[in-house]
Amino acid sequence: MMPRDESAPSADNGTPTTKQARAAQRAEKVAAFKKKEAARKRNRRLAIGGGITVAVAAIVAVTLAIVLPLSGSGSGAASGPVKLNTVQTWEGLSSQHTAKKVDYRMSPPAGGPHNATWLNCGIYDQPVPNENAVHDLEHGALWFTYDPDRISGAKLEALKKIVPDVYATLSPYPGLDAPMAVSAWGAQIKFSNPENAKVQKFITDYYRSPNAPEPGAPCTGGLDAPGKVS
C-alpha cells in the first residue's frame, strides 16, 4: 500500500490537508504573538513617556514653589496670613472713572478706578458695589466692612459705635479675610476688636483726610444701594 501524500490536496471538496491546517495554525499563533509583542512594546513606551511627564511636572512644581514666593510682588504676591491691627498703604492709585467692573488689587478695595457715581454714605445691611464705595473714599470718606459669617449681634453693634455719623459707610463684605476692616483712599486696617487703639488712630488719621484725591466732595446725592438702613 502506497503512503498517503499529506501535501496533496484532499479529495474532499478542497478541504485543507493536515500540513496546510498546521501551517495555518502556526501562522495564527505567530500573528497573535506579534500582536501581543507590539502591544507590550507600545505599553512600555507609554509607561516610560508617562514617567518622564510626571517627573517633569514634579520638577516644574518644585521650581514654581521656590521661585514664586521670591519673585512675586504687588497683588500677585503670596501674602500669607492676614495681619490684624496693621496699616497697609498703597500709592499711585488711579482715580479714573469707569462703568466696568474693576478687579481691585486689594480686598476690600481701598482706591483705584471707580464708578462715576458715588455711594451715599450710611449703614447698609447688604453688600454694596465696590466701584461706587471706592468713589466715596476718593472724597475722604471711610468704608467700614465686616465678615457677616463672624460679625453679628453685639459684635456688630460694637462696630457701629466707631462709625462716624457722616462721611462713612458700613456694609457687610462676604469673604473678608478678617473679622472687620476699615478702608480709606490708599490705606486700610483689618481688625477683630473695634476698640483697639490702632483702629482708633487709623480713623483719626484718615477720616476726611486732605490727602484723598477729592477731599470734601459730597457723600450724599449719589447712589442708594439696596439694603440702606440709615
Per-residue pLDDT tens over the stretch 187-214: 999 999 999 999 999 999 999 999 999 9
Question: What are the cell numbers at 54?
Answer: 510626571
Q: What is the pLDDT of residues 39-68, one digit of tens each?
A: 666 666 655 555 555 444 555 444 444 333
Task: Output the pLDDT for position 18.
Answer: 60
Distance CA 120, CA 193 (A): 26
Q: Kindly tell me if the per-residue pLDDT of 78 is higher than 50.
A: no
CB 144 within 8 A of CB 159: yes
Predicted TM-score (pTM) above 0.75: no
Per-residue pLDDT band at 27 (split at 50, 70, 90): low
Average pLDDT over residues 11-31: 57
In the β-sheet with 187-191, what is the strand arrangement from edge to edge? 87-89, 187-191, 180-184, 142-146, 168-172, 122-123
Residue whose C-alpha is closest to residue 97's, from 134, 128, 143, 141: 134
Task: Output the pLDDT for position 43.
Answer: 64
Task: Output the pLDDT for position 70.
Answer: 30
